Structures are given as C-alpha cells and as structure tokens.
Chain A
Amino acid sequence: MNHAIVAEHLSKRFDAVEAVSDISFTVDKGEIFGFLGPNGAGKTTTINILTGLARPDSGRFAIDGIDCTERPAKARYTIGVVPDESNLYPELTGFDNLCFCAALYGISKSEREPRASELLERFGLKDAANRRFGGYSKGMKRKLTIAAGIIHNPEILFLDEPTTGIDVASARQLRQLIAELCTGGTTIFLTTHYIEEAERLCQRISFIVSGRIVKIDTVESLLQPFQDRHVLRVACESAPHGIEDQLAKRFPGLVFHRPRTETISIEAESPIPAGAIVHFLEEQNIEVFEARRIKPSLEDVFVRITGIEADAMSMNNKKGVGS
C-alpha cells in the first residue's frame, strides 16, 4: 500500500457555490504533493475535508489506508495540519504552545518538553522560546505553526499556504525545512499559489480551478510538452497598440503576446531571431531595454492549462481576496 492519501470523487457545496467538484487523486507515501490553484479554487476546502474539519457531500477518502469518510478522527494521530493562518495561542510562549500542542496528542511531559526544545532549535526559534507567540514576527509565527504541526511526528503533513505573506528569507528557510521533512519520510500535502515554490518542492502537482482538478502529473511530465518550445521575452518602453500584429506580419511563424504593456512575449517551435526582432522594434522608435530567452517554467504550463495568468493569481492572493 503506497498511498498516504486516496480521495475519490469528493464534492462539497456551500449554498450555491460548488467549492469542490468531483475531485479524485492519490498522494504517495513520502512525496510532496502540490495542490496549486488561485484563491477560491477549493484548496482549503479540500484540506478541511481531508483533515475532518469539513464533511464532503459525496465521495470517499482514506488517510494512510484508513477510510475516514465517516469518521475522520480515526486518522488524527497520523496527520499534522498547518493552516493558512498561524493559529497558535498569542498569550502562551513559543515553548508553551509547542508543549500544549503535544499534550493534545497525549504526549507526556517528559517527552514533550525535550521535543519542543528540539523543534525550537531546529526552526531557529530557540532564543524566542520564552517570548509570547503574540509578539512573534510573521515569519517566526509561520515557523512555530509548522513546528506545532509536526510536534507529534505525523506521517502526513497538510501545509496550507505555508509561505504566504512572509519575507523572502523566511520563505526560503521554510522551503528548506519542508524539503528536510520530506527527506525524513514525511508525506506532505502542500497547497500554494506560488508556482515557483511548487515547482521547486513538489514531486507531483495538481492544478485545481473552480473546484475541479484540471491536471495532475509530475513536474517533469508537466514541463515536457514545453521543452521544445522557444520563448523570448522583450522588455521595452510602452509599445503602441497593435505592435504584435505588425510583428506577426513581419515574422510569420512566430506567436506574439503582450502580457504587459512593456513586455512582448514571442513563442516559436524553432530558435527565435532575437536580433532581428529588436532591430524591427527600434526601427519603429520603440526603445528596447532587454531581450531574454526564457526557459519554459511551470508557470507557462499553468497558464496554458488553466488560462489563468500567474501574475493575476499572485495579485489576487496578495490582496487576500476570497479564501
């Protein structure tokens, strides 16, 4: 039995909104499985169903081989959950928060105190151990929340948007910790809207849009169809409307897009004549700042499959629209 999580035809509706619609997937033991989608796509609802905080309207799911559809509490010793908000107790210190979370799993004082100290050390929070959680920075809060999620050594960890809203250095540290947990044998179910993060961390990725899974595959397989494509991105001063049509007429066989007013994106099956394009633009009195060949990324795959611009997705999340 290699599956840590099996979900079959899960659906969940909130009044008129179908939050999750007939989704099925499996997560292998020891892998980092990415659940990628914009806000309101159904990521958190899926986590809530799998962890027992919400009941599916239909479908079944199993955690570590235990059918949890009717009784999700059966697998609670096996799972750890890190919600999208750092929800520890602001009045308690970092150390006391970890000890309390361990006690919820019935871990005795003699075991939980050394475990809490070990995790504080590992997450770089040793010096803040006796400070109140309410006074922690956002990055520290996320770290302690993740530490609380693994205090009982769960086999499966659900991470909901672990790096949202924290600084670059803290996010980097957290990604390193997540990778270490996976190396240690923990299965990780990761929801994120940061495509790069998913690409770096996950072995397999599922794209979810409007409650439906539109694609599940390994990162390599998702990127494969794009490997033979050539992409050039030209940064220039604000080009006049219709410049992409002029370019298409001048360079037949190339596909031109304008993701932003100051960017022209060119795609082709064969190498792109960058110099000629730059020269053409300059002839039109458009100042070119940069022309860069782009390696196909998961972002391109995501945009192609879902039709959602990745930038728009990130902006949406930064604004905190929906959930």
Chain B
Amino acid sequence: MKLWIAFCNILAKDMRTYYLKPPNISWGLIFPLAWTGMFFIRSGDQFSGIQYLLPGVVAISILFGTTSMLAVAVTFEKKQRSFERLLLAPIPLEVLMLAKTSGAILFGVANAFVPVIMAAFLTDLSGVSWGVFVPAVVMIAVASTFMGLFIAVAVSEVFEAQTFSNFFRFPMIFLCGLFFPISQLPVFLQPLSYALPLTYGVDMLHGSVHGNHSLPFMLDLSILGAYCIALFLLSLRNIRKNWIA
C-alpha cells in the first residue's frame, strides 16, 4: 500500500509538472497533427493511402512524444538534484523508475490516438484490428520511454538529452519500416532495421491496420517485450553504477 501511494504520487506529480503543462499538451497535439496533416495531404485524393500511412504516423508520434519528454524530465531533475529526493525515498529503484516512466508511457499512448482520430474522419477504420493495434501502441510507448530513460541516464545536460534522442530517433524513421517496407531498404541496412525495437511495433501496426506484416504478431510482441526489459534493466544498472556510485 505504501509503495502504491508513492507510485501514484510520483506519476501524478510528473503528469502535473511535465506532461499536462499547456505548452506540452499543445506540443503533444500539434506535433502528431502536423505529421498527420503532412503525410495525409501527401497521399492526395487517394484516401485509402491513409491506411498505409497511419501506422508510420502513429509510431512517429509516440516515438517523439515519449523519448524527449522523459529524457528531459529525468535529466532536469537530476541536474537540480530533486532526483536525489526520490533516490532517498524508501522505494525500490525498479518501482521508482516504473513510476517515473509511466507518465511518459501514458503521454505516448495519448499522442498515438491523435492521428487515429484524425484518420477516422477521413477514411474507414472499421477494418482495423484493435486487439493488435492497442497492444502495439502500448508496447511502442513502453519501448520508446525506456529508450528515453536509457538516454537520460547516459547524459548529464538537458540539451545533451535532446541531441542524443535525435541520434536514435531520426534513423528509426527511415530504418523501421514506418513509411516504406524494410524489404525496399538496401540489403546491408536491413539487419540494422531488425536490431531496432520500433521495427517490431510498426510491423504490428501495419498488420492491424491493413493486414501487411512480415512477422507473426506474437513474435513481434515478444521481441518488443524483450527490448523493453533489456532497456529497463540496462538503465537501472547504469543508474546504480553512475548515480549511486
């Protein structure tokens, strides 16, 4: 019960302090809207093309919404030493970091549905397999958030967190099959695509929206899950090594 109180309050504080701030809400809305508008307009009159663009736009919205927010929030708190207060609390590090990341995960999931809502007005989404789509969105949000955590632990300045995030994010846009299939990439780049977690989440999204996917859903989900666990454990290890030295 005590841990639950601590968990909920860390989550509520982060939502209030970072994620539900008006500039952030507008960023969370405008950013996916801009991506959505840009790609959907590009698809011209062929509104059926929206269904092929939607998975990529959803993935990019989550990726950008979560990684930078968490990396900046954690780096900022570390910098002003309020993070020490959390480390001194009687909370296991695993629970503490889950509480810190859950706000970003929720923010990422919310971001994902901005393009979905927009697409619902433009095309028929009745064929979407929501049973696959929703777990894919959640898992992409978790993986992206944990990637943000990994970045936050690796840097010491807020601007470094932003720069380092982009180092991972921008290649992912092209390498993870967001807007064109991995099979169309040069052969030497394809192994790199399969080394990135977003590839598996995007494969699930494509499968759930228009049926084209390359791996079984359960395999995608398992690999994504393994990435999440690995990134989280690696981040915890780095926190113990670098911040409680």
**A: which residues have CB within 8 A of B?**
51-55, 73, 76-77, 81, 83, 85, 87-92, 100-101, 103-108, 148
Contacts and interface: CB of A to CB of B under 8 A. Distances in A.
A87 B82 contact: yes
B5 interface: yes
A53 B88 CA distance: 7
A103 B87 contact: no
Contacts of A108: 5
A214 to B, nearest CB: 26
A53 B5 contact: no
Nearest to A76: B90
B13 interface: yes
Contact of A83 (B17, B81, B91, B245): B81
Which of A53, A81, A108, A148 counts the most chain B CB atoms within 10 A? A53
A76 B244 contact: no
Given A103-B6, A104-B9, A148-B85, 9 more contacts: A54-B245, A83-B84, A87-B81, A87-B84, A91-B16, A104-B10, A105-B6, A105-B90, A108-B5
A16 B49 CA distance: 62
B82 A88 contact: yes
Nearest to B80: A87
17 contacts: A52-B244, A73-B90, A76-B88, A76-B89, A76-B90, A77-B90, A85-B81, A88-B82, A91-B16, A100-B13, A103-B8, A104-B10, A104-B90, A105-B90, A106-B2, A106-B5, A106-B6
A108 B1 CA distance: 9
A104 B85 contact: yes
Nearest to A86: B81
B76 to A, nearest CB: 10
Given A87-B84, A88-B82, A91-B17, A103 B92 contact: no
Interface in B123-173: none
B153 to A, nearest CB: 16
Contacts of A73: 90, 92
B9 A100 contact: yes
DSSP majority for the A interface?
Answer: loop
Nearest to A81: B88
A89 B6 contact: no
A120 B5 CA distance: 22
Nearest to B99: A104
Contacts of B87: 52-53
A107 B5 contact: yes
A29 to B, nearest CB: 20
Interface residues of B, number: 25
B86 interface: yes
Interface in B53-105: 80-82, 84-92
A83 to B, nearest CB: 6
Interface in B5-34: 5-6, 8-10, 13, 16-17
Contact of A55 (B1, B8, B16, B244): B244
A51 B2 CA distance: 20
Given A76-B88, A100-B13, A104-B91, A53 B6 contact: no
Contacts of A52: 87-88, 244
The 8 closest A-B pairs by CB, nearest first: A106-B2, A103-B9, A76-B90, A104-B89, A87-B81, A106-B5, A87-B82, A91-B17
Contacts of A54: 244-245
Nearest to B86: A104
B125 to A, nearest CB: 38
B3 interface: yes
Contacts of B81: 83, 85, 87
B44 to A, nearest CB: 45
Contacts of A88: 82, 85
B11 to A, nearest CB: 11
B245 A55 contact: yes
B244 A53 contact: yes
A53 B84 contact: yes
Nearest to A108: B5
A51 B235 CA distance: 22
A182 to B, nearest CB: 21
Contacts of B92: 73
Contacts of A103: 5-6, 8-9
A14 to B, nearest CB: 8
A290 to B, nearest CB: 44
A166 B110 CA distance: 45
B25 to A, nearest CB: 15
Contacts of A92: 13, 17
Contact of A89 (B82, B84, B88, B244): B82
Contacts of A85: 81
Contacts of B6: 103-106
B17 A89 contact: yes
A55 to B, nearest CB: 7
Contacts of A89: 13, 17, 82
Given A55-B245, A108-B5, A101 B85 contact: yes
